[in-house]
Structures are given as C-alpha cells and as structure tokens.
Amino acid sequence: MAATTPRARPGNTVQSHLTPGPILLSWAAAATTLTLQLQLTDRALLEADAVAVCSVICSVAQDLGLARPMLDTPTAQIGTMYALVWIEVLATTCFLFPQAPTQMSKADPLDGHRAPLEVPQRTSHMPQHQLTTVDYSYMLLNTLCMPGFFYHYVCLMRAWGFDPAALYSLVRSLGLATPLPAADSVAAAAHAMAAAVPGVAAALALYFMSYELVYYFWHRAMHEVPALYKWVHKHHHQQSYPDRPAIDTLNTGCVESQIGLYLQLGTLWAADKLFGVANVPAGMLFIMAAGCLSVLEHDKFERALPFDFWRADEHHMHHAYVKCNYSPYSSFWDRFFGTHKPFAVKGKRKRAAVATYLCTQSVGRVACPAPLMSDPPPEGNRPPEGDRELRVRNALELPGT
Ligand SMILES: [Zn+2]
Ligand SMILES: [Zn+2]
C-alpha cells in the first residue's frame, strides 16, 4: 500500500500552543540533567572505554585492509564511541522492524467484514504540528542528554558484572584475520547461550512489567493532573497523529524525557535490589527494545510484535484519543486497569457509512476517523486540531466547503 506524503497544506497546520513557563522549565531541566551528568561522570573511565572501542575499530580496519582511522585525541575517541552507539541503535531499529505494509483495514470479529482502522494513516490533508525553534531546542537538548544516560546505563551494567573488555575481545576475535574457532567451542558457546535463555526471558519480563507499571501511573498522572499535563506532557501531544518516528519521539519536554529514561535505569536498579534480578543480557535487551519501540510507535506504519505483545497503533490511539493506552509498550496494564483502547469498529451503521465512503475512494486511501465523530477526546486536554467539524472533514479527506 503506497504511503502518502506527510506534508501539511498551508493553513492546515497546528501551531504551537505552549506558554513560556513550561518552555523555560524544560530548558532548565535539560541544563540540570547535563550538569548532573557531567558531575557524575568518571572521565578517566569514559576515556578508557573510548580508547578500547577505538582500538577495536582500528583492529577491524586493519583486518579489512583499510587505512587506520585518525582517532588519537580523547575527544575524537569519545565522539567515535558515541557515534557507534547511535549507529548501532538506528541499525538495530531498522533491521528488527523493517517497514511493514500499512494495514488499512481489519477484519471485524463479529461478521468478518473488513473495516477501516480508527486511527488513519497520515495524509497531506491532516493537521500537522509544524516544528518551531522550541521543538528543535527540545530535540537537541534531549539528544545531548543521551550520552550521559548511556554512560550511567553502562555503569549499572558494570555493577552487575558486565565486562566491556570481554566484549571488545569478542569483537576482535570476529576479525577477518582471526582463524575460525573450533567447532566444539562454538557448540559449547551455543549450549551455554541456550541454557541462559529462560533466565534472560524471565528477567526481561520482570523489567518490562515493572517499568510499564511505573510508567503507566506516571503517564496517567500527566494526563489526569492538569498542572502536570500543562507543564510537562502537553508538548508531546501537539502532534495528534504521529508520523515522524525520531522527531515525534525526541520532541518531548525535557522533564518528561529525562524522567522516562532514568525510570528505566531505576527499574533495573530496583529489580536488582528488591528481587536480586541483575541479568546483564536482559538489561541490555530491555534498554535496546525500549528505545526501538518508543521510536517505532511514533511512525505512520502499522507494526506489531508476535501475539500483539506490542502494537504501534495502540500509541497512535493514545495520541488521537488522549486518555487511553498509557503503557508505553504492551497493553497488559491498560487492560488490567481498564484503560485499553484497541482498534475497533463500532456500530453497523457507522461501519456501513464508512464502507460506502471508502467505495468512492481510490484504492489505498483510508478514511477511518469514526471515533472522532462519536467519541471525541475528553475535555481538558483535547488535541488542538481546531473545531470538530474541521477535524472530521480533515480526517475523512472530504473537500472543504
Ligand atoms: Zn507519543
Ligand atoms: Zn500522553
């Protein structure tokens, strides 16, 4: 199914509605985070890691017959190390979740007829939050805080027994000039990995369930406490139909962004202290998966993990309806607390009306904002797309009058 161009038409954009107070608070939070991160960083340890990483890079380059990279200063080495982290995160995200064909409709369990999804794919007619200098400043500051967060995360993994030197030597051993390992040592390694799978899976489940529970209440509080919504979370909801994965993820108030990230570390730390579960592979998978899923649920493609453990459209529903689907990844806690809102088709009349409309459209276009007509977002923190009639017309792609 062809994707449509996510470019807004002039006059069909959502202007920023933030006030100076929350903006200043966000900048102050980022400055405080950066200052604390600098204070709480062991520069010698960071440089030692960067030297080790760069020596691996030089070793691999040598194996490949390439020129030795100029990485002689600590700043270049640290910069290279963090650049590698970013490349690895992006590559993992793209590799694990290639763009799936967008599913525009879903079989109704009642009668089997296919009906359009409730959250429409973005089209050029839909309201789009135009990025301003404030948005760019938030994205820049959140990005600048990432290396410090990553450093603290590695410190926690070290405390759990992670040995970066072992990782470096493993990567070195994969070099082209190194002879292949003996078959029995490969078999022993595979056996050890297989034996570790149940423990890793159990720890991963604990980390996700714990973090999602904590974040559920934090996210819900940000919507139900007006001051928290205004001062912390409102900025993220300027985009009612997220479709810019990295931008719509990073474009978050710095207070919310840093609390969300460090809650992940706090969850890992607490799981160790409370339950004695300090599993390095699970801790790494948790942070990696959390980052990937956060980005991917802000793009316009419909994606899902097996058994619908995670569905991107559930977070799309949150942006469209606001007071539902507070958990960041799985729907478990939303189902438990009664705030889960899956894609659904409501009412035969509405289904028939939308189906009739769809018949008049070209293949691949979608019109599915039925809930915008029957189930508007609650008062108080409704997304600012303008009046209701305009929103319905925009989402249905009906011509203006
Ligand atoms: Zn979001
Ligand atoms: Zn929210």
Ligand nearest to the CA of 322: 2
**235 C-alpha to ligand 1 centroid (Å):** 10
**302 C-alpha to ligand 1 centroid (Å):** 15
pTM of the full structure = 0.72
Q: Confidence band (pLDDT; 50, 70, 90) for 83?
A: confident
Ligand nearest to the CA of 328: 1
**59 C-alpha to ligand 2 centroid (Å):** 46
Is the four-CA dihedral 173, 176, 178, 179 of positive or negative sign? positive
Residue for token pair 């474009």: 251
Dist. CA 340–CA 359, nearest whole Å: 31
Dist. CA 258–CA 142, nearest whole Å: 8
The H or E element that residue 91 is part of is: helix 74-96
In DSSP notation, 100-166 reads PPPP-EEE-TTT--EEE-SSPPP-TTS-EEPP-HHHHHHHHHHHHHHHHHHHHHHHHHHHTT--HHH
**295 C-alpha to ligand 2 centroid (Å):** 15
Backbone angles phi and psi of 386, in degrees to 5:
105, -165
Ligand nearest to the CA of 233: 2
Ligand nearest to the CA of 315: 1
pLDDT for the residue 120 = 57
Going from the C-alpha of 333 to that of each of 219, 315, 328, the distances in angstroms are 12, 14, 10
Dist. CA 158–CA 380, nearest whole Å: 45
β-bridge partners, 129:
14
Residue closest to 311 by CA, chosen among 298, 330, 326: 330
Ligand nearest to the CA of 298: 1
Q: Where would I find the beta strands (DSSP E) of 169-313?
A: none
Q: Is the pLDDT confidence value at 258 over 90?
A: yes
Q: Is the pLDDT confidence value at 246 over 50?
A: yes
pLDDT for the residue 349 = 42
**159 C-alpha to ligand 2 centroid (Å):** 33
**377 C-alpha to ligand 2 centroid (Å):** 12
**323 C-alpha to ligand 1 centroid (Å):** 12
Q: Confidence band (pLDDT; 50, 70, 90) for 339?
A: very high
- Comparing 262 with 386, which gets the higher pLDDT? 262
Q: Confidence band (pLDDT; 50, 70, 90) for 7?
A: very low
Dist. CA 102–CA 302, nearest whole Å: 5
On average, the pLDDT of the chain sits at 74
**316 C-alpha to ligand 1 centroid (Å):** 7
Residue range 9-25: mean pLDDT, rounded: 69
Amino acid at 401: T
**53 C-alpha to ligand 2 centroid (Å):** 38
pLDDT for the residue 181 = 64
- Comparing 17 with 341, which gets the higher pLDDT? 341
In the chain, % of residues over pLDDT 70: 66
Coil, strand, or helix at residue 16? coil
What's the DSSP call for residue 238? G
**66 C-alpha to ligand 2 centroid (Å):** 48
Residue range 385-401: mean pLDDT, rounded: 39
